[in-house]
Amino acid sequence: MTSFGVVIEKDADGYYAHIPAVQGCYAQGDTYEEVLTNIHEVLHLILEEMVASGQQNPYKISQHE
């Protein structure tokens, strides 16, 4: 299983998260739990798009982790 560091910030509007190692992987949520769920979904969408477009997956993880 591959792990990524997730940066989570809280402000007046809720929570914001991004994974610095994965370009374009950003999410927002009203709660901490919601932003974690959202960033996980965004990561999987990025991986699905890479596979669908025939790009090589540089992260060496499967879509099912």
Question: Could you report the per-residue pLDDT of 6-65, keeping only the tens digit for each?
Answer: 999 999 999 999 999 898 999 999 999 999 999 999 998 998 888 888 877 666 555 444
Report how far apart, in Å, the C-alpha atoms of 29 and of each of 2, 19, 43, 57 are: 24, 15, 15, 27
Q: Could you give the CA distance from residue 34 to residue 47 in angstroms, rounded to a whole number?
A: 20
Q: Which of these CATH numbers, 3.30.160.250, 1.20.1060.10, 2.60.40.10, 1.10.3720.10, describes 7-52?
A: 3.30.160.250
pTM for the model stands at 0.79
